Structure 1
């Protein structure tokens, strides 16, 4: 029995439709971004972090969508426990040249800064300034170049009890403990600390939003210990991929080049001071 003409036409068209479907390009994979739930103001689950925005525009330049992969662990564990294990594919905001990963071309430069009240007469621009001798109470970040430099100034021991009060005297042994950026800024704003010193991206939005006028001054030169060890204060920031993923790094480099103006605008809005590459000693 012959097939009806309409049925035959449909049957004849099926192989062509299947071939056409097979030839249709698949959607590009999402750009899986490693992130810690406790990493605000960098990345935030609600999307309010400035790295959420940077990831979105970079992914868009790659014709992808940014998909954040979250962990409850602090950000210092992202390479070991997330990136290296394949849970995600890219990190946003890591020191250029970090030996654990492949880093992209840097997309901004930043560093540590002194935060004082705008009405303070302290004039601080680096760790050699004479006005450091006038500081009685200083808040800082643990595990940082600032902590190392404070040990050179004599301020470290004098501030230990105060500094530990900022973390409710939590024992730092065998656990990662840090003073949040908003706490550092609040201590200065309310006059509990004469000055705070912090990585600028950690505190910029809180300085900008403070109801008490504050001043953030980027440290303008590297520190030096009594033994002659250089203590860098400024760092180029890159994105990072696994060491065997050079292809993705190349894609990211191309995307970063396309959206540099947009990245710069996000950083300005965040309140992170723009810096040029290079640093005097």
Structure 2
């Protein structure tokens, strides 16, 4: 999983892929997926979702992740109860769950991943930099910002920012955190935040939806700034969709209708979890705008064009604690 929002292929940053050892241990210790009841294709009595049971803030067995909340919204429109099939993310997730008809949808799938047929996206997000309050790095909007030189940056290994850091000479001073872990037993994000608090690192660069809630609950101790100058770089921003089986076009269209109808409700959940949302031109969508019925539509592909100037009063709109509102992203050269 070279790029890590939710899933790229069958692997994710957030649901994060697990190590080969953990995969083997899980296979030996846990009953195979087929040991559970295998239902028919696309249930008409339940909204069947395959999820990772230990992947906050995205999904948990307690159903308190933001994908759990979005699943509830979709199920409400479908007039069906949510039924989960739990499985740890990692290699083979789609093959052993969705493709085995153990569920009808995978939440939070990256558009462009060929393992599933993606619906239209319901949000787009990007990488962010998170620093302690008062840090001189709080206004950084690009991994290439000269201000980062001489500072120790925390970053997940094998993710797009590491490529840029290698090129600009800052990777040597970075602290790398493992990407392939079993989240039931290990949380690299917690270690990353602990190091930031202890001043082992000066900043961390990570996928925004993964860290947004931690920033919100830090009581102002942390500031998150989207890397808006990098959103058009390959692997720095993603459109996130629902994943369904490739031959189920009617089901895909049904879900897209629900996503359109409940767009404002879904955005309220994302805003509550402090997920940074960006539009097709790479602009940050203020939470007050994102949660309105007139929220910008996220297209499957960027439309291009220059970034317009912010509207008068835009910066006065309320934002979550610790959320830095930068200016508009410049046109890429």
Same fold (TM over 0.5): yes
SS in structure 2 of the partner of residue 140 of structure 1: strand
Q: Which runs of 5+ in 2 are unaligned?
A: 1-42, 283-330
SS in structure 1 of the partner of residue 228 of structure 2: coil
Shift of 1:145: 1.2
SS in structure 1 of the partner of residue 195 of structure 2: helix
Q: Which residue of 2 aligns with 1:236?
A: 239
Q: Which residue of 1 aligns with 2:254?
A: 251
Per-residue deviation, residues 245-277 of structure 1 (Å, max 9, x unmatched): 112111100111111111011011101123212
Q: Would the aligned equivalents of 1:58 and 1:255 in 2 still touch at CA under 8 Å? A: yes
Q: Which residue of 1 aligns with 2:103?
A: 88
Shift of 1:142: 2.6
Is 1:192 the counterpart of 2:208? The answer is no
Distance 1:144 1:76 in 2: 17
After superposition, where does 1:75-154 map in structure 2 within 5 Å?
75=90, 77-122=92-137, 123-135=139-151, 137-154=152-169
Q: Would the aligned equivalents of 2:144 and 2:164 in 1 still touch at CA under 8 Å? A: no
Distance 2:195 2:268 in 1: 29
Q: Would the aligned equivalents of 2:143 and 2:161 in 1 still touch at CA under 8 Å? A: no
Q: Which residue of 1 aligns with 2:285?
A: none
Shift of 1:148: 2.1
Q: Please identify runs of 4+ aligned residues in structure 1 that moved more than 4 A.
A: 175-179
Which of the pair has the greater relative contact order for Cα pairs under 8 Å at 6+ separation?
1
Distance 1:66 1:177 in 2: 25
Q: Which runs of 5+ in 1 are unaligned?
A: 1-26, 225-229
Q: Which has the larger radius of gyration?
A: 1
**Aligned pair in 2 of structure 1 residues 176, 240: CA closer, same or farther (>3 Å)?**
same
Shift of 1:158: 3.2
Report how many residues are paired: 238
Question: What is the Cα-based RMSD across aligned positions, in Å?
Answer: 2.3
Q: Would the aligned equivalents of 1:112 and 1:199 in 2 still touch at CA under 8 Å? A: yes
With the length of structure 1 as denominator, give the TM-score of the two structures.
0.77
Is 1:183 the counterpart of 2:169? The answer is no
Distance 1:83 1:182 in 2: 30
Distance 1:67 1:147 in 2: 38
Shift of 1:76: 5.6
Larger helix share, 1 or 2: 1
Q: Which residue of 2 aligns with 1:260?
A: 263
With the length of structure 2 as denominator, give the TM-score of the two structures.
0.66
Q: Which residue of 2 aligns with 1:274?
A: 277
Q: Aligned match of 2:227 in 206, 219, 222?
A: 219
Q: Would the aligned equivalents of 2:49 and 2:104 in 1 still touch at CA under 8 Å? A: yes
Q: Which residue of 1 aligns with 2:56?
A: 40
Q: Would the aligned equivalents of 2:52 and 2:59 in 1 still touch at CA under 8 Å? A: yes
Shift of 1:180: 3.1
Range that drifts further, 203-212 or 235-244:
203-212
Distance 2:62 2:257 in 1: 28
Shift of 1:75: 4.7
